[in-house]
Amino acid sequence: MIIAPSLLAANFGSLAKETLRVHAAKADWLHLDIMDGHFVPNISFGPDVVKAIRPLTKMVFDVHLMCSRPEILLEPFAKAGADRVIIHVELGDRVDQLLWKIRSLGMKVGLSLNPPTSIRTIEPYLGKIDQILVMTVNPGFGGQPFISEMLPKIQQAATWRRERKLNYHIEVDGGINLETAVECARVGADAFVSGTALFKQRQMKRAVEKMRKMVTAAAPKR
């Protein structure tokens, strides 16, 4: 089970220190929310920030591109040290080409879908991706409440994974705390992005350990 704190919830005045805090907490991935102010109504940070924090930790950098033109960002993020790059299925007929480009740059590839988007839209890509990122909030901001209507999507993704003997991660993102993480784990999620709930903890290490323990216990036997 993967615990991936989202740097979007960090103190932006101390990103190096906050990265080291996630490293010390022994989280599995650092989730990096890249927002372009167009695909979502917010702007966060870019490849230069990723490049600056890369030397601080060997943790997997899980880059979530909430961007309308990800094609111009793929090489800069690859050079900056991204390990995994997630794009949105809402980008439509450009998705195939983008997935291919991300993989050709040597990175793992993920596909994300927003709450209004049907899980059926990602079915054609299941065999080409390393992870599905199910948005459990509308993207753009941290600290929003979990949308429980997303649980059937997670379940469907887990069913396809089992029936088709695929092994992509099912990652959930938005409003994930101990309680909602367990709800998602119960229906098949195995990677948990959590910003606010983890960064507000004084003891992030203990919170990461507790979340990992609880989702592991809640997960259905595969």
Q: Which residue is nearest to Zn ion (CB)?
A: 64
Q: Which is nearer to ligand DX5, 126 or 147 (CB)?
A: 147
> Whole-angstrom Cα distance, residue 139 to residue 191?
17
Using rule CB under 6 A, residue 139 touches ligand DX5: yes
Q: At what angle do helices 151-163 and 178-186 cross, to 10 degrees?
A: 40
> Whole-angstrom Cα distance, residue 43 to residue 140?
8
> Whole-angstrom Cα distance, residue 105 to residue 76?
10
Q: Which member of 28, 33, 62, 96 is catalytic?
A: 33
Bin 188: left if φ > 0, else alpha if -120 < ψ < 50, else beta. Answer: left
Using rule CB under 6 A, residue 172 touches ligand DX5: no
Q: Can you read off the two tokens belonging to residue 208?
A: 């990461």
Using rule CB under 5 A, residue 173 touches Zn ion: yes
Report the partner that residue 136 touches, choosing among Zn ion, ligand DX5, none (CB closer than 5 to 8 A by kind): none
Using rule CB under 6 A, residue 70 touches ligand DX5: no
Using rule CB under 6 A, residue 196 touches ligand DX5: yes
Using rule CB under 6 A, residue 180 touches ligand DX5: no
> Whole-angstrom Cα distance, residue 207 to residue 175?
15
Strand partners, 175: none
* Binding piece for ligand DX5, criterion CB under 6 A, among 48-56, 92-100, 102-110, 141-149: 141-149
State yes or no: is 48 an active-site residue: no
Using rule CB under 6 A, residue 201 touches ligand DX5: no
* Binding piece for Zn ion, criterion CB under 5 A, among 29-37, 41-49, 88-96, 103-111: 29-37
